[in-house]
Amino acid sequence: MLLTFAILAATVALFIWGRLRADIVALLALLTLFLTGILTTAQSIAGFGDSTVILIAALFVVGEGLSQTGVTAWLSSRLRALAGRSLTGLIVAAMAVAALLSAFMSNTGATAALMPAVVSAAWSVGSVPSKTLMPLAYATSSGGLLTLMGTPPNIIVADTLSAAGLEPFGFFEFGLIGLPLLLISVVYMAFVGVRLLPNQTNLPAPEDLTAAVGQLADAYSLHGKIFRLRVRAQSSLAGKTLAEAALGRNYEITVLRVERARAAGTDAGDDDAAAPSAESRRMPRLQPIDERLPEGGTVLQAGDVLLVRSTAELVQRAMLDFNFGVQTVEETEEPLTGALLSHEIGLAEVLVTPRSTYIGQTLAESRLFHKFGVQVLGIRRNNEIAKRQRVRLQFGDSLLVRGPWQAITRLADERRDFVVVGQPEALARQVVSLNRDSLVAGAVLLGMVVLMVSGLTPTVIAALIAAVAMVVFGCLNMEQAYRAISWSSVVLIAAMIPMSTALQVTGGAEFLASHLVATLGALGPLALMTGVFLLTSAFSQVISNTATTVLVAPIVLQTALALGVSPYPLLMMVAVGASTALLTPIGTPPNLMVMSPGGYVFSHYTKVGLPLVVLFLIAGLVLVPLLWPF
């Protein structure tokens, strides 16, 4: 038992020292527990099969599925709407939403659902994720105290009372203390904690979507070359396919998108129906007829609007020949970002490599559209724009391509032929455009929440079902799923679980619990409450708060009955203490999940969390005896 305490102390010291990676420290602790004979082989590696570890890995995949389908960008936009441009507002909004979610589902699931959106929103308000992610994690711990099902320690405390023949706490009774503590958490993190958090992150700042598209438009001279062509009722193109129209071959017009009115009976004779004027807003709303790039077999109808890339002279000639109504995108006041990008379709700059098999070919000969499903909107050579139709590709040419994000990823995999500049995936996640995949991802998330809340399946199984569903329904592929998992976080928590086992099998945890409670019990109820809180909180920093509550709650109950005082305030203090696993990254899965993306080290949690733990203790000592008298 003493050796286990020594190993625990050395592990915590190494975490605080910070010179070794946290996952390496955890692995060293695991190996030491085995080599000293404290744990068996099975006990030492059991953490890698623990349900918490599997849960965390699965939730990383669920979060990535939400990001890939645009749900994260949408949530981020909603958070920004709530917060305005204020970091304080963002922290308050994110913590409120996180607490509400964690009151009815696992705090790990709530963190996974919101973390990508909070990261994105942090950049958008001119801050960094390190200022918002720890408040998010802390809010899920506080939110767990709002309901009986908010966190497992609440259920264990209620079951302890039931097993003793006493009336358990009600479903929302925890909220009597949980709501004040949540308010304390929000105010503290928004005005004090944020100043203690580091101004750093392990994540690169995402490129601003509008600025990135604007820079590409400048580089490839797209301004004034993106038009909206309306097919009038009298146009000879009505009823023809794009292949029959031959706009690309005869007019060098690249059709980027075909839009069609939602409602039938659209008046196709109004040339300005696509413009955002008062008159056009009365027209039926247009939408792309296909999320993919237009193909030769697409049949045009009267009233369709074609978004095209070409020159003004060529578009003018096509207008006269086919009776089009014409507007530039600038005239419609539609931003290029909205015109060129969607959740499905993206932009990227591609460089031709020295060994590319496409060198010497024209765009027609390269058949890039047929091979990869991308359109070439422009070619730059020696800082000048080259003719797309006639130029033969050379080493060093840069191509501006537009196509499905998956197609751009395939181009990036053709390393012999092309180099994709920048991070198209990062841009894709910023597109706020919900579609079928977004609805599927949202439905998967909702289904996971329902399974967690209803108890139809264990939490870990619900998360695994959601992770697999994200892949099966095409929200992301397996490569993206594996890349989404923070393996350092998985190894860290898996390697620290044996420490919890060691404290229990050696009797160390029970020894401390029984002696501390028995000693302070003679000093009065408030002293005993303080000891119960400190003991539960201390254990929750290094082992599971669920395991801590299982260990401490029966001892506290028996002590209360022996002293002749009500067990309710003492057991509620156990629940409060179990929710204060704020001082270490290993105290609770949400702390660990935000560690890497927030760029945190062990000392950040202690510096920010310790004042909040003290505030929880003071609030508990004041409010708990008033709500549940001795």
Residue 436 placed within a domain: no
Are residues 145 and 259 located together in one domain of the fold? no
Confidence of residue 288 (pLDDT cuts 50, 70, 90): low
379: phi then psi, degrees, rounded to nearest 5: -130, 130
Confidence of residue 521 (pLDDT cuts 50, 70, 90): low
Q: Supply the pLDDT for residue 76.
A: 66
Interatomic CA distance for residues 359 and 365, integer angstroms? 11
Residue 116 placed within a domain: yes
Q: How many residues does the chain have?
A: 630
Nearest to 399 by CA among 339, 345, 344, 359: 359
The residue ranking higher by pLDDT, 477 or 210, is 477
Q: Supply the pLDDT for residue 266.
A: 42
Residue 138 placed within a domain: yes
The 3-state DSSP class for residue 420 equals strand
Range of the domain at 144: 2-204+486-627
Q: Supply the pLDDT for residue 582.
A: 92
Interatomic CA distance for residues 524 and 518, integer angstroms? 11
Exposed e or buried b for every residue in 283-302, given b needs 16+ CB within 10 A? Answer: beebebbebebbeeebebbb
Is the Cβ–Cβ distance between 60 and 486 less than 8 Å? Answer: yes
Least trusted range by pLDDT, from 90-94, 112-116, 218-222: 112-116
Q: pLDDT digits over 147-163, tens only?
A: 876 777 887 788 778 87
Return the percentage of the chain with pLDDT > 90, whole number: 22
Are residues 72 and 37 located together in one domain of the fold? yes
Q: Which of 272, 297, 329 is the last residue of a domain?
A: 329
The 3-state DSSP class for residue 345 equals strand
Are residues 311 and 352 located together in one domain of the fold? no
Q: pLDDT digits over 20-41, tens only?
A: 877 888 899 999 999 999 999 9
pLDDT above 80 (res 342): no
Give the bridge partners for 327, in sequence order: 228
Confidence of residue 454 (pLDDT cuts 50, 70, 90): confident
Q: Which sign does the torsion angle of CA 558, 560, 566, 567 carry?
A: negative
Residue 457 placed within a domain: no
> How far does the chain reach from its first CA to its final CA, in angstroms?
35
Q: Supply the pLDDT for residue 433.
A: 60
Residue 217 placed within a domain: no
Are residues 237 and 306 located together in one domain of the fold? yes
Return the percentage of the chain with pLDDT > 70, whole number: 87
Rounded to 5°, the CA angle 461-536-548 comes to 35
Interatomic CA distance for residues 302 and 239, integer angstroms? 8
Interatomic CA distance for residues 193 and 200, integer angstroms? 15
The residues, any chain, with a CB within 8 Å of residue 470's CB and separated by 6 or more, are 61, 62, 64, 65, 441, 444, 476, 481
What CATH number does residue 396 fall under? 3.30.70.1450
Q: Which alpha helices (H) appear in 125-174, and where do they start and end? A: 133-143, 152-163
Nearest to 589 by CA among 186, 102, 196: 102
Residue 591 placed within a domain: yes
Are residues 302 and 242 located together in one domain of the fold? yes
Q: Which of 295, 329, 363 is the last residue of a domain?
A: 329
Q: Supply the pLDDT for residue 132.
A: 93
Q: Which of 306, 329, 352 is the last residue of a domain?
A: 329
The residue ranking higher by pLDDT, 16 or 448, is 448
Q: pLDDT digits over 460-476, tens only?
A: 898 899 999 999 998 88
Give the mean model confidence (pLDDT) for residues 372-376.
Answer: 88
CB-count exposure of residue 205 (10 Å: 0-12, 13-18, 19+)? exposed
Is the Cβ–Cβ distance between 170 and 178 less than 8 Å? Answer: no
Are residues 152 and 36 located together in one domain of the fold? yes
pLDDT above 80 (res 528): yes
The residue ranking higher by pLDDT, 12 or 450, is 450
Interatomic CA distance for residues 147 and 169, integer angstroms? 10
Interatomic CA distance for residues 228 and 377, integer angstroms? 16
pLDDT above 60 (res 92): yes
Give the mean model confidence (pLDDT) for residues 503-525.
Answer: 75
Rounded to 5°, the CA angle 356-357-363 comes to 95
Q: Supply the pLDDT for residue 278.
A: 39
- Which two tokens mark 473? 């329904």
Report, in angstroms and rounded to the nearest whole number, the Rg of the chain calculated over CA atoms: 30
300: phi then psi, degrees, rounded to nearest 5: -85, 145
Nearest to 59 by CA among 107, 115, 112, 105: 112
Are residues 315 and 351 located together in one domain of the fold? no
Q: Supply the pLDDT for residue 264.
A: 42
Rounded to 5°, the CA angle 624-154-131 comes to 85
Q: Supply the pLDDT for residue 286.
A: 60
Are residues 240 and 162 located together in one domain of the fold? no
* Structural domains of the chain, count: 3
The residue ranking higher by pLDDT, 623 or 433, is 623
Nearest to 160 by CA among 612, 539, 600, 556: 556
Residue 142 placed within a domain: yes
Interatomic CA distance for residues 470 and 628, integer angstroms? 45
The residue ranking higher by pLDDT, 277 or 437, is 437
Helices 71-83 and 87-102: angle between axes, nearest 10 degrees? 120
Q: Which alpha helices (H) appear in 351-422, and where do they start and end? A: 363-366, 368-372, 405-413
Are residues 125 and 269 located together in one domain of the fold? no
Are residues 170 and 253 located together in one domain of the fold? no
Are residues 198 and 229 located together in one domain of the fold? no
Q: Supply the pLDDT for residue 462.
A: 87
Give the mean model confidence (pLDDT) for residues 450-457.
Answer: 79
Are residues 310 and 348 located together in one domain of the fold? no
Interatomic CA distance for residues 36 and 436, integer angstroms? 55
The residues, any chain, with a CB within 8 Å of residue 9's CB and separated by 6 or more, are none
**Which region holds residue 292: left if phi is over 0, alpha if psi is between -120 and 50, else beta?**
beta
Q: Supply the pLDDT for residue 605.
A: 94
Lateral strand order in the sheet of 375-381: 384-386, 375-381, 398-404, 345-352, 418-421
Residue 191 placed within a domain: yes
The residues, any chain, with a CB within 8 Å of residue 375's CB and separated by 6 or more, are 254, 256, 293, 369, 401, 402, 403
Rounded to 5°, the CA angle 439-441-446 comes to 90
Confidence of residue 549 (pLDDT cuts 50, 70, 90): confident
Q: What is the average pLDDT value for the chain, to the nearest integer? A: 82
pLDDT above 60 (res 331): no
Nearest to 120 by CA among 161, 156, 163, 90: 90
Q: Which residue has the tokens 């045009």?
A: 300
Interatomic CA distance for residues 257 and 340, integer angstroms? 9
